[in-house]
Structure 1
Amino acid sequence: MKIVVIGGTGLIGGKVVGRLRERGHEAVPAAPGTGVNTLTGEGLDAALAGAQVAVDVANSPSFEAAAVRDFFTTSTRNLLAAEAKAGVTHHVALSVVGVDDLPDNGYFQAKAAQERLIKQGPIPYSIIRATQFFEFVQGIADTATEGDTVRVPPVLFQPIAADDVAEAVAGTAVEASLKGTTEVAGPQLFRFDELVSRALRARNDPRKVVADPHARYFGSELSERSLVPAEGHARLSTTRFEDWLRTSA
């Protein structure tokens, strides 16, 4: 089966391509570096020719609210139109757990707009919402740092390894469309500040982590469960944070 992976050269996309090829499928990475631009439509028709499935794991190069919304809405419209022309029968998209819960967050609202376009579109679809990735915890700590102190809200956090996200996406791509949404999360539930502390200690980082209820997450105030799936609603992966730390250090 030919499966085109939009964003197929990135962190998740490259792993999805690898897993699909391991399953014996023709997995084609599509990204600006391979001549495919979803914002302009350049290269889409050629990439999708003969494909049965399109997987969209592309991310916006900008996180400014207007730019990120334009990226996800324009790219999704172009992609869905090209898929319909090519006869694609399954559209798989990676989204974010909590996408409906942060109305003041430009990125989450852009992903919500993307989801609406997919649901209203002509292609049978599967939307996979994932929690935050282990790989981004360090970067989150950096953005929350003032001097030698990291301030993060003491909310619940259930991150997942990028490898496990890719496995979930690849597995979904080779099955019939869900005609709906599923959620994936890591196997462990943490307090956000506890997780950041563990990550910094593992790298001998001396910064102090402070649990600050007023600290914002990329500009948004969080409730306790803003970033985790509803209890019992997510498929849980198997990679534990401490095991990932040992192999990624």
Structure 2
Amino acid sequence: MAGVAASSALPVRVLVVDDQTLVRTGFRMVLDAQDGVEVTGEAADGSTGIDMCRLLAPDVVLMDVRMPGTDGIAATRRIVRECPQSRVIVLTTFDLDEYAFAALRAGASGFLLKDVAPADLLASIRAVAAGDAAISSRVSRRMLDLFSQSLPSGPSSAGEDAMTALTAREREILSAIAGGLTNTEIANRMFVAESTVKSHVGRILMKLGLRDRVHAVIFAYEHGLTGSRTT
């Protein structure tokens, strides 16, 4: 039992990648003040971030998008491919940043604005480390505006075929995810247990062949599931 307790107490190890020293210092100060989180390293560009990820194997990488040299998109793509034990949260200053959305497509597990509240940042890090994903409702609402300008006129036939595998409830939950709702919020809105929502989300990801919650949001936007909202 003691071994189990010790294992569960291991901190979430975080690597901060940002070209601005003050930003890295700020995130380190916030995270070092929290229990259960350890900043294991810092990198000033994407290339160094990739190298440090290989060396340190962090649980979560906080990744800036716009950096000289190897930017956050390329670095995210490499880390997802070469460091599967590490998950990436993309950070950006701008609500509508096409580069940041491209990083999500590259495999990032979260998207947060740099002005995120410390409590929300910590919750997102823990969620991503636990295998979930984190995307702020503020950002997810903006995604539709961005994608509506660049998506093809209709969904792919493969996506349509995958959609037929979803039940009506699963479609409803996928729409709620696209609206930026957390599992807790979906459970409260649908008057079901949070564990029930988690089970539905897991089945949705499996049926659609999606990596995580963020890519479920992208899929929902691409296949027109953002017009309806749970009530």
TM bucket normalised to smaller: 0.3 to 0.5
Q: Which structure has the highest helix share of the two?
A: 2
Indicate the structure whose relative CO is greater, using CA pairs within 8 Å and at least 6 residues apart: 1
Per the normalisation by structure 1, the TM-score is: 0.41
Per the normalisation by structure 2, the TM-score is: 0.43
Q: Which structure has the highest strand share of the two?
A: 1
